[in-house]
Amino acid sequence: QIKVFVIVGGVSVMSSTQTLTDTKSFNKMALKWKQNDFSWWVNGVKIYTDSSGNTFGNGVLNRLNLNGALTNFSFEGKTKELAVFKEALTDAELESLTSWISFVEMATDLEYTLE
């Protein structure tokens, strides 16, 4: 199982638990959060959506945790890339993001500038 939480001011505003078919294989994931619009993508497929919930104010998001923030579960795995975008991506962009071979390939195709 894999669990995703979005916590704002100590309150969970989005929470999802999914069972992946193969947790030992490389899985591409993306999480979108904006006011009243949360979604979670795995390997090019939207597996969770929630249309209500508050999100972070400007300059408030200051930490990403790869562990169970609300529980004692630790992250067990390897990561290849981690990126945070300044704006919410569209569903088409998230689908593409989680199905490309690399972040560089995705950025090139979507004409993003890498800094």
| Pairing outcome for strands 2-8 and 29-34 | unpaired
With a cut of 80, say whether residue 14 has pLDDT above it.
yes
In order of 24, 96, 108, the CA distances from 105 in angstroms are 24, 10, 5
Beta pairing partners, 29: 42
- Separation between Cα atoms, residue 109 and residue 89, nearest integer Å: 14
Share of the chain above pLDDT 90, in %: 4
How would residue 112 be classed by pLDDT, with cut points 50, 70 and 90? confident
Residue 102 pLDDT:
67
Whether the pTM exceeds 0.75: the reply is no
* Segment 7-14 mean pLDDT: 83
33-to-37, 41, 115 alpha-carbon distances in Å? 6, 12, 22
